[in-house]
Amino acid sequence: MKAIRYGLIFLLIITPSLLVNYVQVRGELTRSYKEAYYKQVLSKAIDAGTISMIEDFDINDRSQAHMNKERAVETFFEVIALNFKTVDKYERQGLKKYVPIILLIDHDGIITYSPELYANLDGYQVIDHVFHDKVYYSEQVEGQVISYNLNDTYKVLDMDKDIVFKGSYNDLKDINISRVFDLTESELRQRRQSLLVKTIENELLRLNDINAYNGLNGHSYAFFIPDTKGDLTTNTVESIGMMAIIQGMPMGKSSFNMLALSGSGLKELGLIYGYSHDGKDTYHKEACDEIEGQLIEIFVDQKEAARKGYYPGSCW
């Protein structure tokens, strides 16, 4: 009896601790699942935005593609809204406050989409995301402006003579137009790469200005400049693409932060649109006038749509 009594006392002592541990572990698992889902959604959104952004795509020369910046941003937020079941237009607009910056990486420069304080047509001061002027990949060297792009051609503006020279490394090296072409071709590519990365990092500094608007728009989260050293690789900035900073998105008692990026190699896939009509889920290509039903999801490839239970539709 004494052993049973001591055993019961032991259980009374240890049970609350076990319950607390169980709740904590269950909470951590729920948080991990939710975080994984958020990452999946936002990765898909940035991929879909990149695919929809690129026009006149040539698989043999991706740097010559052209971007549709409005369609890219619209698709990005559409994918997030669909996956988070956000239907109300004001709730959809509210998603933007968790995406302080989107960088659209073009072949000759970067266009930033971020909040700006400005006067609307009625004269009221408003804060909303806008497209900023393109920042070009260029530098000034001894009275000349050297412009780079995502392929191996260069442009040199001689400001004194008001003359522009364009060409490949060998073309411009032969005419001895600038001392930067005294570098080897490999060294010049590395110089270009460093400039591209610096341009991206400078645009991310806009986060400091965006924090100044927080008191005006009711958003209290303080955005921070993410560490991009592990993300800005050579492959990342040698093709047209997108980069989005997601911060402060509510996730239980904590917040979700992510740097999402993608490149133009995705254009080979094409977007797949998942619709539901009369209880049947089907997927279709982007250009199709015969689609009926409600748009439910946007996929980056056919296999993902099939895994979700969608079947090829009439526009496949």
User: What's residue 287's pLDDT?
Assistant: 56
Phi and psi at residue 172, in whole multiples of 5°? -80, -25
Phi and psi at residue 192, in whole multiples of 5°? -60, -45
Residue 52, both tokens: 């929809």
Mean pLDDT, the chain, whole residue set: 78
Q: Where are the domains of the chain?
A: 271-316
Higher pLDDT, 220 or 103: 103
Q: How far apart are the first and last CA of the chain?
A: 75
Residue 109, both tokens: 């420069």
At 263-306, the pLDDT tens digits run: 655 444 556 777 787 777 777 766 566 677 777 777 766 767 77
Q: Determine the average pLDDT of the residues in 236-247.
A: 81
Is 24 a residue whose pLDDT tops 60? no
Is 64 a residue whose pLDDT tops 80? no
Cα–Cα distance list, 244 to 146, 258, 290 (Å): 28, 8, 33
The length of the chain in residues reads 316
Is 119 a residue whose pLDDT tops 70? yes
HSE-up of residue 315 (Cα within 13 Å, Cβ side) = 16
Q: Determine the average pLDDT of the residues in 200-216.
A: 85
Residue 112, both tokens: 């930033």
User: What's residue 266's pLDDT?
Assistant: 47
Phi-psi region of 159 (alpha: psi -120 to 50; beta: other; left: phi over 0): alpha
Maximum distance among all Cα pairs of the chain, rounded to whole angstroms:
104
Using alpha carbons only, how large is the chain's radius of gyration in Å? 26
Is 249 a residue whose pLDDT tops 50? yes
Q: Which amino acid is residue 50, in one-letter code?
A: T
Q: Determine the average pLDDT of the residues in 235-261.
A: 82
Is 125 a residue whose pLDDT tops 50? yes
Is 20 a residue whose pLDDT tops 90? no
Q: Determine the average pLDDT of the residues in 9-23.
A: 45
User: What's residue 154's pLDDT?
Assistant: 92
Q: How far apart are CA 249 and CA 99, in angstroms?
A: 9
Phi-psi region of 56 (alpha: psi -120 to 50; beta: other; left: phi over 0): left
Q: Determine the average pLDDT of the residues in 236-249.
A: 82
User: What's residue 59's pLDDT?
Assistant: 46
Q: How far apart are CA 216 and CA 117, in angstroms?
A: 10
Q: Determine the average pLDDT of the residues in 187-207.
A: 90
Q: Determine the average pLDDT of the residues in 200-206.
A: 92
Percentage of the chain modeled with pLDDT above 70: 75
Q: How far apart are CA 76 and CA 266, in angstroms?
A: 14
Is 312 a residue whose pLDDT tops 70? yes
Contact in structure between 195 and 137 (CB atoms under 8 Å): yes
At 27-42, the pLDDT tens digits run: 444 778 888 889 889 9
At 166-188, the pLDDT tens digits run: 998 888 888 878 888 889 998 99
User: What's residue 175's pLDDT?
Assistant: 82
Sign of CA dihedral 185, 190, 194, 196: positive
Is 10 a residue whose pLDDT tops 70? no
Contact in structure between 165 and 158 (CB atoms under 8 Å): yes
Percentage of the chain modeled with pLDDT above 90: 21
Q: How far apart are CA 291 and CA 278, in angstroms?
A: 12
Q: What is the DSSP string of the chain?
A: -HHHHHHHHHHHHHHHHHHHHHHHHHHHHHHHHHHHHHHHHHHHHHHHHHHHHEES--TT-GGG-EE-HHHHHHHHHHHHHHHTT--SHHHHHHGGGG--EEEEE-SSEEEEEEEEEEE-TTS-EEEEEEEPPPEESEEEETTEEEE--SSSEEEEEETTTTEEEEEEHHHHHHTT--GGGGS-HHHHHHHHHHHHHHHHHHHHTHHHHHHTTHHHHT------PPP-TTT--TTGGGS-EEEEEEEEEEETTEEEEEEEEEEGGGGGT--EEEEEETTEEEEEESS-S---SEEEEEESSHHHHHHTT-EE-TT-
Flag whether the pTM goes above 0.95. no
Q: Determine the average pLDDT of the residues in 41-45.
A: 89
User: What's residue 301's pLDDT?
Assistant: 65
User: What's residue 74's pLDDT?
Assistant: 93
User: What's residue 3's pLDDT?
Assistant: 52
